[in-house]
């Protein structure tokens, strides 16, 4: 598990596939580790934490429009290419800033004086 967290801390994006819940643990782990979550389901965007005060598009990379193609395991689709085309440097840089500004909220045992 420590290896997964270390990899996530070195990443810009973390893929969040469908799980038991729309905002599964990997989603929160991704945010806590400072990466931009990449979601493929509209339900994940709709149930993102703090939707009422923080627009999901400010810190979540959505590839919802490719959901059906990706579920078919279309080998012609490269997720990295999709991300780079949809989120150029200035976009994902601002998303990373948004993630870093909110990630402490998702930490268990958060102590404000440490941040």
Enter the pTM of the model: 0.78
In three-state secondary structure terms, 47 is coil
> What integer pLDDT is reported at residue 109 of this predicted model?
57
* pLDDT mean across residues, the chain: 80
User: Distance between alpha carbon 64 and the CA centroid of its chain, in Å?
Assistant: 13
pLDDT surpassing 80 at residue 21: no
Lookup: tokens for 61:
């990379």
Q: Which residue has the tokens 């598990």?
A: 1
The predicted model gives 100-111 an average pLDDT of 71
What percent of the chain stands above pLDDT 70? 83
pLDDT in tens, 24-75: 788 888 888 888 999 988 888 888 877 777 888 888 999 998 887 777 766 6
Contacts of 70 (CB under 8 A, 6+ apart): 40, 63, 77, 79
Q: Map 61-91 to HEC letters.
A: EECHHHHHHHHCCCCCCCHHHHHHHHCCHHH
DSSP 9-46: HT-SEEEE---SSTT-HHHHHHHHTT-EEEE--HHHHH
Q: Which helix (H) or strand (E) holds 107?
A: none
The predicted model gives 80-89 an average pLDDT of 88
């Amino acid at each position: 598990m420590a290896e997964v967290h270390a990899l996530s801390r070195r990443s810009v994006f973390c893929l969040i596939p469908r799980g038991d819940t729309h905002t599964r643990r990997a989603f929160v782990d991704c945010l806590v580790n400072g990466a931009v979550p990449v979601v493929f389901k509209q339900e994940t965007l709709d149930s993102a934490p703090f939707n009422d005060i923080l627009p999901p598009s400010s810190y979540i990379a959505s590839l919802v429009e490719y959901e059906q193609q990706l579920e078919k395991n279309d080998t012609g689709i490269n997720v990295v290419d999709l991300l780079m085309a949809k989120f150029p440097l200035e976009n994902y840089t601002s998303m990373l800033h948004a993630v870093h500004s909110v990630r402490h909220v998702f930490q268990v045992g958060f102590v404000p004086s440490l941040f």
